[in-house]
Amino acid sequence: MSELFDQFIVEAQDLLETAGGALLALERDPADRASVDELFRAFHTLKGASALFDMAPFTRLVHAGEDTLSLLRDGRRALTPELADPLFRVLDQCARWVAALETAGALPDDAPTAADALVRGLAGDAAAEGTAAAGGEAEAFPWLAALTAEERAGAGDGRLTAIDYRPDPECFFTGDDPLALFRRVPDLRLLRIEAAEPLPALAEMDPYRCVLHFRALSGADAEAVRPAFRSVPDQVHIAAVTLKPALKPAVIPIAVAPPDSLAARMLEEQGRILELPGSAVERDSRRAAVARAVAAILASLGRPADRRMIEAACADAVTLHRFLAEGPARPATPESPPTAIPAARRALRVEPERMDALMALVGELSVVKGQLGPLLRRAEDGELATELRRDLKGFSARLDTLVGDLRHAALRLRLLPLARVFDPLPRLVRDTARRLDKTVELMLEGAETEADKDILDVLGEPLLHLVRNALDHGIEPPDRRITAGKPPGGTLRVRAFQDKGGVVVEVSDDGAGIDPAAMRRAAAAKGLLEPDAAAALSDADAVRLVFAPGFSTAGAVSDLSGRGVGMDAVRAAVERAGGRVEIASTPGAGTRVRLSLPLTLSITRVVVVEAAGALYGIPVALVGGIQRVPRAAIRAVKRAESVVLRDRVVPLVRLRRLLGQPEDVRVRESDCVVLAELGDGPVALAVDDVGERADVVLRPMTGVLRSLRGYAGTAALGDGRLILVLDLRELL
């Protein structure tokens, strides 16, 4: 890839980011001249830059955006939320394209159609969209021509509205449920649900990635259908079509070959061969011949397809026609890379002063290393041990300090401002609030607070969820707020600050708050707690129930909260990173959720323990004490053991048992016990032996090991031995 192209990618990413920020600012204050100018400049530059390369749909789209913006700039149009929506969509589409350009070097195949839809959206001329596509039914909806007789009968004839909906693979994360959208389509006559790409084996399937493609026909007008897809306009193509009464399926245009070309006629002929009467054996052999012929023709057209797919398509004439009308699926390679995009842009920007500090320390390290040589010589010369020991001690102390400083400097390199996780929030709040018909002001504080980049990665998803949750369940609709004597618009505050050795992020809203009484009732109704136990909960504990697995506070599951991550997942993610979650809520006044995370994940101090011959690490932060307990002091009721430690009765768990290792058969007078302080009380962990304490660099489990529960990661000890660091919360 040329340098110029690389530069365009970087520049386009920056420009799109700037434009997004300016558009948000402009929507808040439509009179903001500076933002209009900035937005216009960004589109203008994008147009110019993209024209240097072969990406006509991109240029066309930003050109249309520029036209719309020039109306804004000249004061001929004002920015309304209705106008902001398509502009945001244009920015989103451009960002997706830039990502595709970065990975694949070219725009995706559907770029021209996507650009057309968005350009029409900018013009605000929905009617034009319908008429433009009406004539070109086969072009825009090739599958229409290949409906089975049964599907045709169900759809009826005449004017219909065709819907082609290819959901964004990541759409589950934004709360979309593509199938549910079709419930809102009036007079649904046909719904075809197919895999957009060959379905992978179940074990390799990512359950949170949408791989389906929806095609539908409705008897209602396009205008009546469109509202159902209001939230996903860039993923759906809707247009009026006219279905001719079912004739012979001979009029099917064959997408893979030019009309009337020899190849097209040959392919049509293959369909007729399949329809010829004959015995089962005859038909089978014909099918095989047709499959070979189709494969050969497709290969000669430069569109080779998978043999199995062709064989499946040759089952009957209609299937073959459908297969040829849609064109064989392209190899899936250009489709799959997008998942890897987030990683591509993870360059770390480092302040020069931090680099300098690190360099200075490295210099010092060389000086200290230089002292080792003379010491070594003195030892070889047989110098007295006492003197040598004193100097060696001094050397060791200096090295210790230096290593500590170096580590600190290296960690500071990894510190990044929280702005990174705050950046997506304004747009998320804007879109979500608009979808929910609420007015919400977002206040961000402390974006300059720094945390380790691993912590930021942990923080991102839970933060998005908390914000979404506050918008969805916390802040009330304007009419209810007015009745409650509040201003109609809600306020959502996200605040970050540093706190002793860690970073704290608070998400607070001035919404309805959580009613502890309702929580108690729900807990009892869901069978999470006995009614008595629920009634005995303090208000604070009752509110904390939102973090219990399988608990949802809302009476009805809205389309936003019906997503994969619940509050229990937020808690789990934060606790896995060694952090804490607290919640405080006042009914009627609002809710505050506070996430406290350590400043860094990288270095963890662990106690090394031994069980069944293997070494494990337990984070020191969890260890309340280590002691030997005489066997006699351990009380056993059946297999449940307990021990009295520091005047408390503590349940005793044997690590060998937890890890599924054989019991220790050696007869011992006492057990080595590590007292672990977990969120829900202390646990005594019996181990074979306790070793040193060590600072280790914790490496999370990767690959197939990632799904392994109960381990926080692996780490290497000073002497090179590898240990598994236990995640006791998960293990117990």
Partner 1 sequence: MPVRFDSDLARFEAACTAEEALPLAEWLETAAAPRVDLSACTELHTALLQLLLAARPALAAAPEDAFLARWVGPLLAKAG
> Under the rule (CB under 8 A), what is the footprint of partner 1?
167, 172, 176-180, 182-183, 188, 191, 193, 195, 199-203, 205, 207-208, 210-212, 550, 557, 562-564, 566
Q: How far apart are CA 376 and CA 389, in angstroms?
A: 12
Which two tokens mark 690? Answer: 């306790």
Closer to partner 1 by CB, 518 or 554: give it. Answer: 554
Q: How far apart are CA 316 and CA 105, in angstroms?
A: 39
How far out from the chain centre does Cα 605 lie? 30
Indicate the residue type of 272: R
For the CB of residue 366, give the shortest distance to partner 1 in the complex, in Å: 52
Instruction: Of 220, 155, 221, 236, give the one whose Cα is nearest residue 187.
Output: 220
Q: How far apart are CA 642 and CA 649, in angstroms?
A: 7
Site of tokens 């300059």:
448
For the CB of residue 178, give the shortest distance to partner 1 in the complex, in Å: 5
Q: How far apart are CA 336 and CA 235, in angstroms?
A: 17
CA 120-121-124 angle, to 5 degrees, is 90
For the CB of residue 563, give the shortest distance to partner 1 in the complex, in Å: 5
Q: Which H or E run contains 330?
A: none
Closer to partner 1 by CB, 199 or 716: give it. Answer: 199
For the CB of residue 311, give the shortest distance to partner 1 in the complex, in Å: 19
144 φ, ψ (degrees, to nearest 5)? -60, -35
DSSP states of 212-271: EEEEEEESS-HHHHGGGGTT-GGGEEEEEEEEPPP--GGG---TTS-TTSHHHHHHHHHH
Closer to partner 1 by CB, 142 or 167: give it. Answer: 167
Strands 212-218 and 188-195: antiparallel
Closer to partner 1 by CB, 172 or 422: give it. Answer: 172
Asked whether 699 and 714 are in contact (CB, 8 A), the reply is yes
For the CB of residue 200, give the shortest distance to partner 1 in the complex, in Å: 7
For the CB of residue 208, give the shortest distance to partner 1 in the complex, in Å: 6
Closer to partner 1 by CB, 34 or 205: give it. Answer: 205
Closer to partner 1 by CB, 105 or 549: give it. Answer: 549
For the CB of residue 552, give the shortest distance to partner 1 in the complex, in Å: 9
For the CB of residue 449, give the shortest distance to partner 1 in the complex, in Å: 32
DSSP SS3 for 570: helix
Burial (CB count within 10 angstroms: exposed 0-12, middle 13-18, buried 19+), residue 696: buried
For the CB of residue 185, give the shortest distance to partner 1 in the complex, in Å: 10
> 439: which strand partners?
none
Closer to partner 1 by CB, 209 or 493: give it. Answer: 209
DSSP SS3 for 678: strand
Q: What is the chain's percent helix, strand, coil content, to nearest 5? A: 50, 20, 30
Helices (H) and strands (E) counted in the chain, each on its own, are 27, 22
Closer to partner 1 by CB, 190 or 512: give it. Answer: 190
For the CB of residue 569, give the shortest distance to partner 1 in the complex, in Å: 9
Q: How far apart are CA 427 and CA 91, in angstroms?
A: 12
Which two tokens mark 635? Answer: 């009380």
Half-sphere CA count of 635, side-chain side, radius 13 A: 8
CA 394-400-405 angle, to 5 degrees, is 130
For the CB of residue 442, give the shortest distance to partner 1 in the complex, in Å: 26
What distances in angstroms separate CA 697 from CA 603, 605, 607, 610, 694, one per listed residue? Answer: 5, 9, 13, 19, 10
Closer to partner 1 by CB, 4 or 199: give it. Answer: 199
For the CB of residue 205, give the shortest distance to partner 1 in the complex, in Å: 6
For the CB of residue 607, give the shortest distance to partner 1 in the complex, in Å: 33
DSSP states of 18-80: HHHHHHHHHHH-TT-HHHHHHHHHHHHHHHHHHTTSS-HHHHHHHHHHHHHHHHHHTTSS---
Q: How far apart are CA 563 and CA 549, in angstroms?
A: 14
Q: How far apart are CA 624 and CA 682, in angstroms?
A: 8
For the CB of residue 176, give the shortest distance to partner 1 in the complex, in Å: 8
Q: How far apart are CA 39 and CA 284, in angstroms?
A: 63
Closer to partner 1 by CB, 56 or 528: give it. Answer: 528
Closer to partner 1 by CB, 168 or 234: give it. Answer: 168
Q: How far apart are CA 399 and CA 396, in angstroms?
A: 5
At how many degrees (to 10) do helices 33-50 and 56-73 cross? 160
CB atoms within 10 A of CB 281: 8
Closer to partner 1 by CB, 58 or 182: give it. Answer: 182
Closer to partner 1 by CB, 34 or 193: give it. Answer: 193
Burial (CB count within 10 angstroms: exposed 0-12, middle 13-18, buried 19+), residue 103: middle
Closer to partner 1 by CB, 708 or 716: give it. Answer: 708
Closer to partner 1 by CB, 197 or 695: give it. Answer: 197
Closer to partner 1 by CB, 119 or 466: give it. Answer: 466
Site of tokens 């001249």:
33
For the CB of residue 322, give the shortest distance to partner 1 in the complex, in Å: 16
For the CB of residue 179, give the shortest distance to partner 1 in the complex, in Å: 4
Closer to partner 1 by CB, 576 or 580: give it. Answer: 576
Map 495-554 to HEC letters.
Answer: EEEEECCEEEEEEEECCCCCCHHHHHHHHHHCCCCCHHHHHHCCHHHHHHHHHCCCCCCC
For the CB of residue 332, give the shortest distance to partner 1 in the complex, in Å: 15
For the CB of residue 564, give the shortest distance to partner 1 in the complex, in Å: 5
Closer to partner 1 by CB, 170 or 269: give it. Answer: 170
